[in-house]
């Protein structure tokens, strides 16, 4: 009998997930630093392209190189790559405009968008508990946006544009999560990650005529590091779901706020307002209701969880 690739080791799973979240947040800090001088499209390229060698090594070590890159539906990967790359680009652009904790907090609305889109596109029925969660989450978003909404003249404000970019990214990531639910029925996890990185690398090259810069050695190191750190974090997240169910690990996504607060304060001298934290708390509470309700309903969405990235699309 073949040995199972999974086991119930919750402490190991939680440790892997928290380390991965920390790495993703560090990567976001690097992107924020990089996009002060490097165009967003160039940052997307390095973040995506330098994931590929790590994935190759990971699959080779596991002995899954041929199986892990096999695909039955290339067009599913193309559409996942197109939408996911757009989400990544919007998020990276927002990081150049907003404090890291604010981008992190606004990104928490992704599960709310996923729930709305699942109802609209998949015909999933949402009853009063989940409708209430959506309402609470949207109120939280409005609270976070309220300091940015001071009148018509603020529509040109960089911070408001950044906030809208994060929400656009979150909506696209919600669509990606729904798309991945279909993909995991026929595609390997490693193939989904690999072909997304390939597609994102190619699509980001389309921004080359819009002003890429020649990075100096320190900046080049930072750019390459985003890919390696993102790939390592992705592998750790994927591995964590081998040792515990998604319902157990989902709440640890919000550890990213603690990392963002520390990195934002130490690295960028940023500190969130009480209004932003209050709005973020409502969004997190809404997501907690969704997770609890879906676990009660037995919805098996855990397979898509390892493939989601709050900062990478």
Q: Write out the chain in H/E/C secondary structure.
A: CCCCCCCCCHHHHHHHHHHHHHHHHHHHHHHHHHCCCCCHHHHHHHHHHCCHHHHHHHHHHHCCHHHHCCCCCHHHHHHHHHHHHHHHHHHHHHHCCCCHHHHHHHHCCHHHHHHHHHHHHCCCCCCHHHHHHHHHHHHHHHHHHHHHCCCHHHHHCHHHHHHHHHHHHHHHHHHHHHHHHHHCCCCCHHHHHHHHHHHHHHHHHHHHHHCCCCCCHHHHHHHHHHHHHHHHHHHHHHHHCCCCCHHHHHHHHHHHHHHHHHHHHHHHCCCCCHHHHHHHHHHHHHHHHHHHHHHHHCCCCCCCHHHCCCCCC
What is the per-residue pLDDT for 2? Answer: 42
Q: Is residue 4 part of a domain?
A: no
Is residue 294 domain-resident? yes
Does residue 6 carry a pLDDT above 90? no
Is residue 37 predicted with pLDDT exceeding 60? yes
Task: Classify residue 198: in a domain, yes or no.
Answer: yes
Q: Is residue 15 part of a domain?
A: yes
Give pLDDT, residue 311: 52
- Whether this prediction's pTM lies above 0.85 is answered by yes
Q: What is the pLDDT of residue 84?
A: 94
Q: Is residue 196 part of a domain?
A: yes
pLDDT value of position 301: 46
> Average of pLDDT values for 29-54?
95
> Is 278 within 8 Å of 143 (Cβ atoms)?
yes
Instruction: Please state which of the ranges 122-131, 132-141, 190-199 shows the lowest mean pLDDT.
Output: 122-131
Residue 150 pLDDT? 64
Q: Which of 11-20, 120-129, 299-308 has the highest mean pLDDT?
A: 11-20
pLDDT in tens, 93-126: 999 999 999 999 999 999 889 888 888 887 777 7
Domain span at residue 166?
Answer: 11-307
CA dihedral 157, 161, 163, 164 (to 10 degrees): 140
Residue 3 lies in a domain: no
2 belongs to a structural domain:
no
Q: How many domains does the chain have?
A: 1
Mean pLDDT value of segment 192-204? 92
CA distance linking residue 90 with residue 84, whole number of Å:
10
Is the separation of the CB atoms in 7 and 272 below 8 Å? no
The predicted-structure confidence for 207-265, as pLDDT tens digits, reads as follows: 999 889 999 999 999 999 999 999 999 889 888 888 887 777 888 889 999 999 999 99
CA distances to 143, 191, 196, 230, 305 from 180, rounded to whole Å, are: 30, 12, 11, 19, 9
Examine residue 148 and state whether it is found in any structural domain, yes or no. yes
CB 81 within 8 A of CB 194: no
Q: Compute the average pLDDT of residues 22-50.
A: 96
Whether pLDDT at 176 is above 80: yes
């Amino acid at each position: 009998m073949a040995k199972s690739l999974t086991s119930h080791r919750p402490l190991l799973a939680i440790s892997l997930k928290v380390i991965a979240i920390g790495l993703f947040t560090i990567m976001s800090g690097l992107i924020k630093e990089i996009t002060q001088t490097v165009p967003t499209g160039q940052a997307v390229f390095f973040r995506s392209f330098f994931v590929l060698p790590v994935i190759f090594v990971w699959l080779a070590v596991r002995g899954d190189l041929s199986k892990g890159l096999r695909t039955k539906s290339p067009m599913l990967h193309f559409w996942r790559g197109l939408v996911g790359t757009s989400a990544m680009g919007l998020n990276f652009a927002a990081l150049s405009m907003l404090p890291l904790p604010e981008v992190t907090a606004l990104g928490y609305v992704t599960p709310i968008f996923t729930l709305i889109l699942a109802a609209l596109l998949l015909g999933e029925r949402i009853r009063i508990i989940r409708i209430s969660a959506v309402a609470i989450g949207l109120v939280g978003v409005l609270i976070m946006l309220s300091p940015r909404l001071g009148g018509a003249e603020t529509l040109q404000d960089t911070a408001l544009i950044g906030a809208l970019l994060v929400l656009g990214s979150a909506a696209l990531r919600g669509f990606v999560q729904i798309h991945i639910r279909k993909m995991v029925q026929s595609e390997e996890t490693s193939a989904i990650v690999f072909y997304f990185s390939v597609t994102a690398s190619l699509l980001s090259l389309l921004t080359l005529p819009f002003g890429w810069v020649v990075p100096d050695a320190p900046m080049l190191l930072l750019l390459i590091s985003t890919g390696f750190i993102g790939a390592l974090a992705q592998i750790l997240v994927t591995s964590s779901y081998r040792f515990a169910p998604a319902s157990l690990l989902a709440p640890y996504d919000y550890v990213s706020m603690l990392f963002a607060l520390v990195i934002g304060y130490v690295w960028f001298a940023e500190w969130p307002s009480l209004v932003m934290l209050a709005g973020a708390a409502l969004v997190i509470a809404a997501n907690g209701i969704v997770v609890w309700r879906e676990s009660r309903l037995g919805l098996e969405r855990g397979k898509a969880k390892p493939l989601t990235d709050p900062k990478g699309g």
